[in-house]
């Protein structure tokens, strides 16, 4: 009945219309009894409230560091409603209250998108995370907050959003740990390159500068300038700290890998160690989402791009469209297989290297490794040419890594809790030295 208050999603409204302050109003319509596929606007005439349906609201969200720009596409009116809110959990909770079973939301993957998905998806009919690489092919070349949010909302209305797989929390954690470990390795390489640059000035070989102890030994045997000696000591401290933190992160990865038997089965593949198995399991995720091995190779970036127009047909190099870290560990595993494996994988590499060269054969072998890993995750069976003795050594190493002290239980030193003392800067004079 018109004018009667209605409680919907905890909000008291009137006239069967729930007013969302930021997202606009969802539209309640009454179905035409003569044509059920057509909707009629509600009116106050008596006897027209037989069947009620709810028009779907399509919302696109464009995430930024500090704010979220949203657009609601009102399809039956052909117009847009824009709104903006802060990008924090309190604003997410307010936005969740404005959603309902009539809402479909699209968000481009960036930053804290998956945390936003966890907060909003229980409160709407459907929420889709859009692939940012695929979205670049759409649009008219304009790139603004309003255009991006409106494009997402309209594509959601057409059911044309290129969606990504929403990975569970455990997969997100191991991916972040692997990416953080990859950054630690890059920092180690920078420190070692700095040490080598210093030693080249003194005609000293730097091929064995692998850890902090070797750096300090070289410093003791060379007549270095005071500045170079200070930099070497600093680099040695950095290398020691990075090595410790890297081992702790690898132990965290191993603990998570040991909890999943299907991931441990990947250790049966020749050349695949603990970190490579963790990366394969984390990025393949749910193996049933791939129908063919070509899709798996394309996801990892090992598929050749194709350019075809008229009589022109060209195959390029690998597309490299997948995750860089995954390709890196696969190439490293392929190099180990090429050197040491005498089974089918090693024979395949040696046979291909005679025809296409060693570099292309390594890439082809890396593609074969990710396909084999997908098959193992799909069937749950170990690799058919498994070398049992090598697999046991990997499992022993995995158990040893899991027994290391967890980073969460490790006590933080008082110096880290206290932070740097500003009074010790600039020769103990603090900021007064700059005045």
Contact between 195 and 299 under an 8 Å Cβ cutoff? The reply is no
Contact between 274 and 394 under an 8 Å Cβ cutoff? The reply is yes
Per DSSP, what are the bridge partners of residue 152? Answer: none
The reply to whether 91 falls in a domain is yes
Shared domain for 267 and 242, answered yes or no, is no
Pick from 157, 189, 224: which residue ends a domain? Answer: 157
**Tens-place pLDDT, residues 274-329:** 999 999 999 999 999 999 999 999 999 998 888 788 888 877 788 888 889 999 99
Shared domain for 194 and 295, answered yes or no, is no
Shared domain for 320 and 191, answered yes or no, is no
Of residues 8, 238, 223, the one with CA closest to residue 100: 8
β-pair type (103-108, 57-63): parallel
Domain count, the chain: 3
Q: Would you state the structure tokens that stand for residue 161, as one six-digit string?
A: 């959003």
DSSP sequence for 116-147 = HHHHHGGGSSEEEEEPHHHHTTSSSS---HHH
Q: How far is CA 262 from CA 388, 398, 401, in A?
A: 17, 14, 19
Shared domain for 71 and 89, answered yes or no, is yes
Contact between 401 and 251 under an 8 Å Cβ cutoff? The reply is yes
Q: Cα angle vertex 120, ends 280, 111, to 5°?
A: 50
> What was the pLDDT predicted at 207?
63
The reply to whether 123 falls in a domain is yes
The reply to whether 428 falls in a domain is no
Shared domain for 97 and 68, answered yes or no, is yes
Q: How far is CA 396 from CA 83, 170, 405, in A?
A: 56, 23, 17
Distance CA 9, CA 54 (A): 14
The reply to whether 333 falls in a domain is yes
| Alpha helices for 285-357 (secondary structure H) | 293-300, 324-340, 344-356
Shared domain for 270 and 378, answered yes or no, is yes
Contact between 398 and 274 under an 8 Å Cβ cutoff? The reply is yes
Shared domain for 293 and 393, answered yes or no, is yes
φ, ψ (nearest 5 deg) of residue 211? -150, 180
Contact between 124 and 103 under an 8 Å Cβ cutoff? The reply is yes
The reply to whether 140 falls in a domain is yes
Q: Structural domain of residue 134, as residue ranges?
A: 57-157
Shared domain for 274 and 391, answered yes or no, is yes
Shared domain for 252 and 347, answered yes or no, is no
Shared domain for 150 and 212, answered yes or no, is no
* Other beta carbons less than 10 A from residue 136's beta carbon: 9
> What was the pLDDT predicted at 286?
92
The reply to whether 323 falls in a domain is yes
Shared domain for 265 and 398, answered yes or no, is yes
| Weakly modelled stretches of the chain, pLDDT under 70 | 1-54, 139-141, 205-210, 407-435
Contacting residues for 6 by C-beta, under 8 A, at least 6 apart: 12, 13, 14, 16, 18
């Amino acid at each position: 009945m018109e004018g009667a208050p209605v409680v919907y999603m905890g909000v008291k409204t009137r006239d069967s219309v729930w007013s969302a302050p930021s997202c606009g109003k969802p539209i309640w319509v009454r179905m035409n009894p003569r044509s059920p596929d057509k909707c009629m606007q509600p009116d106050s005439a008596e006897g027209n409230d037989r069947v009620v349906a709810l028009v779907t609201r399509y919302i696109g969200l464009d995430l930024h560091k500090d704010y979220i720009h949203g657009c609601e596409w009102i399809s039956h009116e052909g117009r847009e409603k824009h709104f903006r809110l802060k990008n924090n959990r309190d604003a997410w909770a307010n936005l969740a209250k404005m959603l309902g079973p009539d809402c479909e939301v699209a968000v481009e993957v960036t930053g804290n998108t998956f945390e936003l998905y966890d907060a909003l998806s229980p409160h709407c009919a459907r929420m889709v995370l859009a692939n940012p690489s695929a979205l670049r092919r759409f649009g008219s070349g304009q790139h603004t907050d309003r255009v991006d949010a409106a494009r997402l909302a309209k594509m959601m209305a057409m059911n044309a959003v290129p969606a990504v797989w929403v990975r569970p929390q455990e997969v997100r954690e191991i991916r972040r740990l692997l990416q953080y470990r990859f950054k630690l390795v890059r920092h180690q390489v920078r420190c070692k390159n700095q040490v080598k640059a210093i030693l080249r000035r003194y005609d000293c070989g730097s091929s064995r500068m692998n850890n902090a102890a070797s750096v300090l030994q070289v410093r003791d045997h060379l007549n270095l300038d005071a500045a170079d000696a200070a930099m070497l000591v600093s680099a040695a401290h950095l290398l020691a700290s990075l090595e410790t933190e890297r081992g702790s992160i690898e132990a965290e990865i191993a603990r998570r890998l040991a909890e999943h038997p299907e991931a441990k089965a990947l250790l049966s593949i020749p050349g695949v160690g603990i970190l490579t198995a963790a990366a394969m399991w984390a990025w393949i995720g749910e193996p049933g989402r791939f129908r063919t091995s070509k899709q798996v190779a394309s996801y990892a970036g090992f598929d050749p791009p194709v350019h075809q127009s008229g009589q022109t047909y060209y195959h390029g190099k690998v597309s490299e469209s997948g995750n860089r870290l995954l390709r890196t560990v696969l190439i490293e595993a392929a190099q180990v297989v090429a050197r040491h494996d005498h089974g089918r994988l090693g024979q395949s590499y040696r046979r291909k290297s005679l025809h296409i060269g060693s570099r292309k054969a390594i890439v082809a072998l890396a593609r074969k490794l990710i396909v084999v890993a997908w098959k193992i995750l799909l069937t749950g069976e170990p690799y058919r040419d498994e070398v049992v003795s090598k697999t046991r050594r990997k499992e022993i190493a995995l158990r040893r890594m899991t027994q290391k002290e967890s980073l969460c239980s490790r006590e933080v030193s008082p110096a880290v809790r206290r932070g740097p003392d500003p009074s010790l800067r600039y020769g103990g004079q603090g900021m007064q030295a700059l005045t």
